[in-house]
Amino acid sequence: MMTSASACGKIILFGEHAVVYGRPALAAPLTLLRARARVEPRAQSGILIHARELGRVYELSAATPDDALARLTRLTLDALNASANLSIEIESDIPMASGFGSGAAISTALARALAAFFDKSLTPLEISELVYETEKLYHGTPSGIDNTVIAFEQPIRFTRRPPPARNEIAPFLIARPFTLMIANTGIASPTKITVGDVRRGWQMDPATYEKLFDAIGEIVAQASSALARGENARLGELMTRNQLALSALGVSSREIEKLLDAGLRAGAQGGKLSGGGRGGNVIFMIDPRDAENIKRALLDAGAASVMVTEVGAKH
């Protein structure tokens, strides 16, 4: 018996970094970008993991403590109360360290495939909680948004709450689909580092940082209202305001700002970094009729790649 499963990528529309401090964030699935996991029986004893994108083939028993795939495998098997000799193969279309939630997507696909192999079910919430444990290895102090939006595979308004309270997870309405252009800086986004730097800044000057988090929270509220009403024309300006706050938090970079300037000059309605910052992706609210001009300007400005996606559309 062989089972397989997949999971989508994600994009944060508004609210990154402030979400770690109890403010809401909006994230949406990127349904066309997917990670896949395949699980099948193995004649030899033990569990073999083949991670294609990492170029690694190794035994679970030989994995290091910081290996996210090994941790997710063990946690999922414990949750399923199951064991077997297995061969696990992982592959992904999602660029790594680019703010698309590649780690959470791989872990989600693996949890789904393992549950299917043992003919058991895990709810999206159960999978999200399992994947969150592996997110700690990637991000240090993760917000929980990646595992949530990917496990539920729908637009999510996420608000983090301190334990023992549960995080607030609610779908949000996108009344009219809209077009995003995503430009990759070509630089890995060091989420664990930027989250840590923001935390240190907050500890040194909590008043200033709390004001910035409040400002981002208000932008999220306005964006949520605009999306629910189909007022997509407001989104570009809100993205640009969100970017100014993120820059004040110290998570932008020269490369990000260069792409933002190029995209806005070429006709984008607004833009911001998405994810940890200092690399990764920059997203732009665009009119599809301007896509070619904006794409050309972004590539000329140094973008490693540019893609266009529709958010809120049914695929």
The catalytic residue positions are 146
Return d(Cα 13, Cα 27) in angstroms, integer: 5
* 35 in Cβ contact with 92 (< 8 Å): yes
Q: How many angstroms separate the Cα of 245 from the Cα of each of 46, 57, 233?
A: 49, 42, 20
Kind and range of the H or E run holding 305? strand 305-311
* Residue whose structure tokens are 């946690």: 75
Find, among 132, 130, 161, 145, the residue nearest to 100 by Cα: 145
The residue with tokens 């559309």 is 313
Using a 10 angstrom Cβ sphere, with 0-12 exposed, 13-18 middle and 19 or more buried, the burial of residue 27 is: buried
Which residue is it, tokens 């003919």?
119
